[in-house]
């Protein structure tokens, strides 16, 4: 029974590692400038966590195999180095491991959050509400008009609550249900929640940020690959949460300009 | 075993009458069993809910026969609506975290065995103790009641993020009365836990018998003591937070709702609240709660393992120090749940490092267990199998914590199935394995009968392999960016992952069915099991020095005197290879810590 248990632990440990090693269900491909830092951090953590996982399971299994059901008069062995040795080893090995992960991981985090957006980044506002995203581009004047929550009216397609009659800056604002961005240009995404908490997650962009009602946040990123990707909500926002999504199209600068013109004409 | 050394003799007669004896009992042992019974009912409710959810996730339009009986509107034609999925998911999480993982390893076993292990007749405040159970029971009834109110239970998840938890029914089904009942239930639950924690702390500090120094306490007692210290501070924060949510609903306040929110084109009549305030309050409770669920399990596993290894642990003191460090650090790490919440990104780093550092004491505890296995004479029985299974699960769930402790990786993995896999393994399955281990180990003492070992081992094998089949794939799904809390996977990139969900569903149902073997074994052995001797495992702590099952005042009017460390195994004594704590026999021991 004990030996069978030991073998089971080893089989489970190996079977658990195989899909990771074979990338059976891989992470979505990275299409961002900063994403490789996150991916490298992920791989490094996977290597360290994987080795710790396999080592611990194997040692557990070997000890179960070796020391189970021994005769009553079998000598009790002492672990070499005793508790002191293990405590020192844990502090040195795990301590170094976690400090290294923490310090190197800061690089990836800093690239997303500790740098301001470039001066020539393209500002886009995204509003999350039950259960849709809407996007606003500032138009030729480069300015966003103010929001008037009391004017929000979905039936009239005034999703943001704009007063385009009286607010000069709002007049040329372009509102869309789909997000489009030019490739290789930094985007400064201004995030606004209309009702409850939501989140903006594009796995390929390596971007996930919550919308916080009452607190307008911003993030910035640069996409490097043309294509069409899904934006999904990851913050439980109500019954339609699973279906709250939008598409992100990454275009060449020329295609983006054409798309934006077309959207402006539709306003 | 009955020749407990005595220095006082005053026998307390048990109460007569069914109500005082079995219902409103002041006896900590009866209260412990009541907590266990409540957890058992709760875990089966929670498990059935998870089956329904899993079936729906594998086959979204599947009609689940009889589901309409639970809710006509939630499951018309027996097919679950999106909102009902979220409602059941919320109830599954709430029931499991509060009424199973907190209740069974801490309140149930702690109530039954802590006073006996310190040599006391009862808890110092038996009325508070009785109240703590009945308050917890009331909390469970209040939570269950939300199934039967207008639009059902809340759909906001067990974390109940603001402002969805405070805007009222305009936020969706269950967000009105469902949330109020949820918050009321949890606030009431907190009262029960606070009363229980006070009793546990006082029992440990004030009711130890002669010779029972703190260092001579078994690791189970240390686990419950440390947990009650955590509970005292964590539940004291959650309770007012829940009351504030109720006030936002019924008193027109806006603690968690800021101004200018528009729902269904209607400007909400709130202003001035903070949504992040809820997250801070909730996770200040929520992360210690993870350890409230697991530290008693660590104590139980240490206790069961050392008994079956027939040798002392490498270091009793190191395990205590590590459990204590985990408890202190647990308050400094809660912000890792909020890396992408909009909190100041610099504070994410401040929360990340303690989260990474908490792996050190956790690793040391595992090393102490595994190092103690070396050279031992390990006995394989159901209790020790579940204890070893706990270690395997705790390691598997623990290593995924390396990922989630880092804000940069959390950008990818936050709110995905990776998180679900992580906490289910490290907090739920490991803790439940601790409960099973404790059950198979202490059942003879609690009932006077042995559990069936063959059925126990079948139960273990199916649970161990099954739990890996369910929760390991969750990690793969998370890496592939599969978002959690979705009732159906309509996104293009999630379509290829649906077969994995189907596999998990089959594994979950099979593993769940295996739990009925345990239930059968529990009930059958209770009445028809083999009669248990007083000390079937040849164990050393005080609970094995009492008759089986223990009398009303635990030691028959006597007060035991403690002469030894809790785990004196692997030596030669008149009883065999161990010496009991209450035995005055002097034997050469490795180290008698005072």
Are A7 and A106 members of one domain?
Answer: yes
Q: What is the pTM of this model?
A: 0.95
Please report whether residue A76 resides in a domain.
Answer: no
The pLDDT value recorded for residue B114 is 97
% of chain A exceeding 90 in pLDDT: 87
Are B97 and B144 members of one domain?
Answer: yes
Please report whether residue B291 resides in a domain.
Answer: no
Please report whether residue B312 resides in a domain.
Answer: yes
Residue A236 contacts B where some CB pair is shorter than 8 Å = yes
Are B213 and B338 members of one domain?
Answer: no
Are A145 and A246 members of one domain?
Answer: yes
Concatenate the DSSP letters of all residues of A230-259 into one string.
Answer: EEE--S--STTGGG-EEEEEEE-HHHHHHH
For B436, which DSSP code?
Answer: H
Which residues touch B291 (CB under 8 Å, ≥6 apart)? Answer: B227, B230, B326, B327, B330
**Residues A195/A3, Cβ–Cβ less than 8 Å:** no
Whichever domain contains A137, its CATH number is 2.60.40.420
**Residues A205/A229, Cβ–Cβ less than 8 Å:** yes
Are B377 and B494 members of one domain?
Answer: yes
Please report whether residue A221 resides in a domain.
Answer: yes
Are A128 and A257 members of one domain?
Answer: yes
Rounded to the nearest angstrom, the gap between the alpha carbon of residue B230 and the centroid of all alpha carbons in its chain is 13
Which residues touch A188 (CB under 8 Å, ≥6 apart)? Answer: A117, A121, A122, A123, A124, A218, A220
How crowded is residue B289: how many other Cβ atoms within 10 Å of its Cβ?
Answer: 24
Are A224 and A133 members of one domain?
Answer: yes
Are B341 and B239 members of one domain?
Answer: no
Residue A91 contacts B where some CB pair is shorter than 8 Å = yes
Q: How far apart are CA B49 and CA B52, in angstroms?
A: 5
Are B373 and B413 members of one domain?
Answer: yes
Tokens of B313: 């642990």
Are B575 and B587 members of one domain?
Answer: yes
Please report whether residue B21 resides in a domain.
Answer: no
Tally of domains within chain B: 3
Confidence of residue A267 (pLDDT cuts 50, 70, 90): confident
Please report whether residue B373 resides in a domain.
Answer: yes
Are A133 and A65 members of one domain?
Answer: no
Could you tell me the residue range of the domain that residue B574 belongs to? Answer: 535-594
Are A152 and A262 members of one domain?
Answer: yes
Helices (H), B315-381: 316-329, 345-357, 359-373
Tokens of B33: 């069993």
Reported ipTM = 0.96
The pLDDT value recorded for residue B304 is 98
Are A180 and A100 members of one domain?
Answer: no
Are A100 and A51 members of one domain?
Answer: yes
Q: How far apart are CA B342 and CA A208, in angstroms?
A: 11
Residue A5 contacts B where some CB pair is shorter than 8 Å = yes
Tally of domains within chain A: 2
Could you tell me the residue range of the domain that residue A177 belongs to? Answer: 122-266
Of B148, B149, B138, B111, which is closest to residue B25 (Cα–Cα)?
A: B111
Among B353, B363, B386, which would you mutate to test the A interface (most chain A Cβ atoms within 10 Å of its Cβ)?
A: B363
Contact A67 B388 (CB under 8 A): no
Closest alpha carbon within chain B to A71:
B377
Are B411 and B552 members of one domain?
Answer: no
Please report whether residue A100 resides in a domain.
Answer: yes
**Residues B540/B502, Cβ–Cβ less than 8 Å:** no
Are A56 and A134 members of one domain?
Answer: no
> Mean pLDDT throughout A41-59?
95
Average pLDDT of chain A is: 94
Please report whether residue A75 resides in a domain.
Answer: no
Are A195 and A233 members of one domain?
Answer: yes
The pLDDT value recorded for residue B12 is 57
Of A1, A212, A230, the CB nearest to B493: A230
Contact pairs from chain A to chain B, CB under 8 Å = 322
Please report whether residue A74 resides in a domain.
Answer: no
Whichever domain contains B194, its CATH number is 1.20.210.10
Are B178 and B249 members of one domain?
Answer: yes
Are A101 and A9 members of one domain?
Answer: yes
Please report whether residue B281 resides in a domain.
Answer: no
Of A76, A197, A232, the CB nearest to B483: A232
Please report whether residue B406 resides in a domain.
Answer: yes
Instruction: Write down how long chain A is.
Output: 267
Are B191 and B116 members of one domain?
Answer: yes
Among A3, A76, A133, A149, which would you mutate to test the B interface (most chain B Cβ atoms within 10 Å of its Cβ)?
A: A76
**Residues B83/B156, Cβ–Cβ less than 8 Å:** no
* End-of-domain residue from the set B477, B507, B531: B531
For the cut 50, the answer to whether the pLDDT of residue A132 exceeds it is yes
Q: How far apart are CA A219 and CA A208, in angstroms?
A: 9
pLDDT per residue rounded down to tens, chain B (594 residues): 344 444 444 455 688 888 888 899 999 999 999 999 999 999 999 999 999 999 999 999 999 999 999 888 999 999 999 999 999 999 999 999 999 999 999 999 999 999 999 999 999 999 999 999 999 999 999 999 999 998 999 999 999 999 999 999 999 999 999 999 999 999 999 999 999 999 999 999 999 999 999 999 999 999 999 999 999 999 999 999 999 999 999 999 999 999 999 999 999 999 999 999 999 999 999 999 999 999 999 999 999 999 999 999 999 999 999 999 999 999 999 999 999 999 999 999 999 999 999 999 999 999 999 999 999 999 999 999 999 999 999 999 999 999 999 999 999 999 999 999 999 999 999 999 999 999 999 999 999 999 999 999 999 999 999 999 999 999 999 999 999 999 999 888 999 999 999 999 999 999 999 999 999 999 999 999 999 999 999 999 999 999 999 999 999 888 899 999 999 998 888 888 999 999 998 887 655 443
Are B191 and B323 members of one domain?
Answer: no
* End-of-domain residue from the set B485, B514, B531: B531
Are A106 and A127 members of one domain?
Answer: no
How crowded is residue B574: how many other Cβ atoms within 10 Å of its Cβ?
Answer: 8
Q: How far apart are CA B569 and CA B539, in angstroms?
A: 9
> Mean pLDDT throughout A146-155?
93
Are B432 and B539 members of one domain?
Answer: no
Residue for token pair 């912000």 = B335
């Amino acid at each position: 029974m004990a030996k069978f248990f030991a073998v089971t632990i080893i089989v489970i440990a190996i079977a658990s590692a195989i899909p990771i090693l074979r990338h059976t269900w891989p992470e979505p491909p990275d299409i961002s400038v900063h994403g490789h830092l996150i991916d490298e951090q992920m791989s490094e953590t996977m290597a360290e966590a994987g080795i710790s996982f396999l080592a611990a399971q194997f040692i557990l299994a070997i000890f179960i195999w070796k020391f189970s059901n021994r005769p009553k008069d079998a000598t009790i062995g002492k672990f070499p180095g005793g508790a002191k040795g293990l405590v020192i080893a844990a502090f040195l090995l795990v301590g170094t491991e976690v400090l290294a992960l923490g310090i190197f991981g800061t690089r990836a985090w800093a690239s997303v959050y500790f740098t301001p957006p470039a001066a020539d980044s393209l500002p886009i506002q995204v509003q999350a509400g039950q259960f849709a995203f809407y996007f606003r581009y500032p138009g030729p004047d480069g300015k966003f008009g103010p929001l008037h929550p009391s004017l929000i009216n979905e039936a009239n397609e005034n999703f943001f609550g704009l007063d385009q009659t009286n607010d000069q800056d709002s007049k040329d604002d372009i509102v869309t249900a789909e997000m489009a961005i030019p490739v290789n240009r930094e985007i400064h995404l201004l995030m606004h929640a209309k009702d409850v908490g939501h989140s903006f997650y594009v796995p390929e962009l390596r971007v996930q940020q919550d919308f916080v009602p009452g607190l307008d946040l911003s993030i910035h990123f640069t996409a490097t690959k043309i294509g069409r990707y899904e934006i999904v909500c990851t913050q439980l926002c109500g019954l339609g949460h699973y279906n709250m999504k939008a598409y992100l199209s990454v275009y060449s600068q020329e295609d983006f300009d054409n798309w934006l013109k077309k959207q402006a004409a539709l306003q | 075993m009955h020749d407990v050394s005595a220095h006082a003799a005053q026998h307390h007669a048990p109460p007569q009458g069914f109500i005082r004896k079995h219902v409103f009992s002041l006896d900590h042992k009866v209260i412990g069993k009541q907590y266990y019974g409540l957890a058992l009912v709760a875990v089966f409710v929670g498990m059935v809910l998870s089956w329904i959810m899993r079936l729906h996730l594998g086959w979204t339009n599947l009609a689940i026969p009889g589901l309409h009986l639970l809710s006509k509107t939630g499951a018309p034609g027996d097919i679950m609506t999106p909102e009902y999925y979220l409602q059941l998911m919320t109830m599954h999480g709430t029931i499991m975290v509060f009424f199973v993982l907190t209740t069974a390893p801490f309140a149930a076993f702690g109530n039954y065995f802590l006073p006996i292990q310190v040599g006391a007749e009862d808890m110092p405040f038996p009325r508070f103790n009785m109240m703590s159970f009945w308050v917890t029971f009331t909390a469970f009834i209040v939570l269950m009641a939300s199934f039967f109110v207008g639009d059902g239970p809340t759909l906001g998840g067990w974390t109940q993020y603001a402002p969805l938890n405070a805007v009222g029914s305009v936020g969706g089904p269950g967000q009105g009365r469902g949330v109020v009942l949820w918050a009321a239930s949890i606030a009431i639950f907190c009262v029960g836990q606070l009363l229980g924690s006070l009793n546990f702390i006082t029992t440990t500090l004030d009711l130890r018998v002669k010779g029972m120094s703190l260092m001579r306490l078994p690791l189970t007692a240390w686990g419950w003591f440390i947990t009650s210290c955590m509970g005292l501070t964590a539940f004291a924060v959650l309770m007012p937070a829940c009351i504030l949510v109720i006030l936002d609903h019924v008193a027109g306040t806006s603690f968690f709702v800021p101004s200018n929110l528009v729902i269904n084109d209607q400007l909400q009549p709130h202003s001035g609240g903070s949504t992040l305030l809820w997250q801070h309050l909730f996770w200040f409770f929520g992360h210690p709660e993870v350890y409230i669920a697991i530290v008693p399990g660590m104590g139980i596993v240490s206790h069961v393992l050392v008994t079956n290894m027939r040798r002392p642990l490498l270091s009793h003191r190191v395990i205590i120090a590590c459990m204590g460090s985990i408890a202190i650090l647990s308050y400094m790490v809660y912000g890792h749940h909020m890396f992408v919440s909009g909190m100041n990104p610099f504070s994410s780093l401040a929360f990340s490092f303690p989260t990474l550092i908490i792996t050190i004491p956790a690793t040391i505890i595992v090393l102490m267990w595994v190092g103690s296995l070396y050279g031992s004479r390990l006995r394989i029985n159901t209790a020790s199998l579940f204890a070893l299974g706990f270690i395997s699960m705790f390691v598997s769930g623990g290593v995924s914590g390396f990922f989630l402790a880092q804000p940069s990786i959390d950008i990818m993995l936050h709110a995905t199935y990776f998180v679900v896999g992580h906490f289910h393994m490290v907090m739920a399955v490991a803790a439940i394995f601790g409960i099973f281990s404790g059950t198979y180990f202490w059942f003879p003492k609690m009932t006077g009968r042995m559990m069936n070992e063959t059925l126990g081992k079948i139960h273990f094998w199916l649970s161990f392999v099954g739990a890996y089949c369910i929760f390991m794939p969750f990690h793969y799904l998370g890496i592939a960016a599969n978002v959690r809390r979705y009732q159906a996977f309509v996104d293009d990139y999630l379509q290829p992952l649906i077969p994995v969900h189907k596999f998990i569903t089959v594994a979950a149902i099979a593993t769940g069915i295996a739990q009925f073997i345990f239930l059968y074994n529990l009930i059958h052995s209770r009445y028809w099991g083999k009669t248990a001797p007083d000390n079937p495992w040849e164990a050393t702590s005080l609970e094995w020095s009492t008759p089986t099952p223990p009398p009303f005042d635990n030691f028959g009017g006597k007060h035991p005197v403690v002469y030894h460390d809790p785990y004196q195994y692997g030596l030669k004594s008149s009883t065999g290879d161990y010496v009991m704590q209450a035995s005055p026999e002097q034997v050469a021991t490795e180290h008698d810590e005072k």
